[in-house]
Copies of this chain bind each other. A is one copy, B any other.
């Protein structure tokens, strides 16, 4: 993703059927990182699960840290794609948009494959400021806060900033709770709580 191939260059413009190895590795890595955590998954495990070898890995990625950053960037892209899709049907109706977001969030987070939010999990695992994934996590969470506050403002709520922050806390709390409660537990109450908060803020 961030690692640019030196050239696509030359002849054909055909965007179809690019080489497969890099993508196979990347997909495998994404799944392993999400399911078992970043630090828990070594290069050998990735490479082995992708039915390839370490050399092929290091021909496609400069380092594990950079792969992790790519993984997080990918999660970021998917997240906002999801968000925008959920929100789209209610253009101009911020209150309905937030309700739709929380309904989708509850569904997603309660599914049995869910391990919460990959980016939030990375916030726990990656402490070093120099790690290339750190910036991805920080900007992702900042954007979430910004959007929730913007939605709160758009719905003409009293005190939109605290409302936006509270909505964010509800959502993030759900991610965390998912990790200890089998089918999501408290997450199920996130939608009604969000509704209650918005009502109380006159939106």
Show the binding face of A for B, using Cβ within 8 Å. Answer: 35-37, 39-40, 115-116, 120-121, 123-125, 127, 137-138, 141-142, 145, 159, 161-162, 165-166, 168-177, 179-181, 185-190, 192-193, 196-197, 199-201
Q: List 20 interface pairs A-B (beta carbons < 8 Å), by A numbering.
A: A35-B127, A36-B127, A39-B39, A40-B125, A115-B127, A124-B179, A137-B180, A138-B180, A141-B181, A169-B170, A169-B174, A169-B187, A169-B193, A170-B170, A170-B173, A172-B173, A173-B176, A175-B176, A197-B200, A200-B200
A51 → B minimal CB distance (Å): 23
Other-chain contact of A172, B35, B124, B125, B177 (Cβ < 8 Å): B177
- Cβ–Cβ contact A168 & B177, under 8 A: yes
- Cβ–Cβ contact A189 & B172, under 8 A: no
Distance between Cα atoms of A186 and B142 in the complex (Å): 10
A127-B37 in contact given A171-B173, A180-B137, A200-B200 (Cβ < 8 Å) = yes
A124-B121 in contact given A169-B177, A180-B138, A189-B162 (Cβ < 8 Å) = yes
- Cβ–Cβ contact B124 & A124, under 8 A: yes
A154 → B minimal CB distance (Å): 18
- Cβ–Cβ contact B173 & A169, under 8 A: yes
Other-chain contact of A141, B39, B171, B177, B190 (Cβ < 8 Å): B177
Identify the interface centre among A39, A124, A169: most chain B CB within 10 Å of its CB. A169
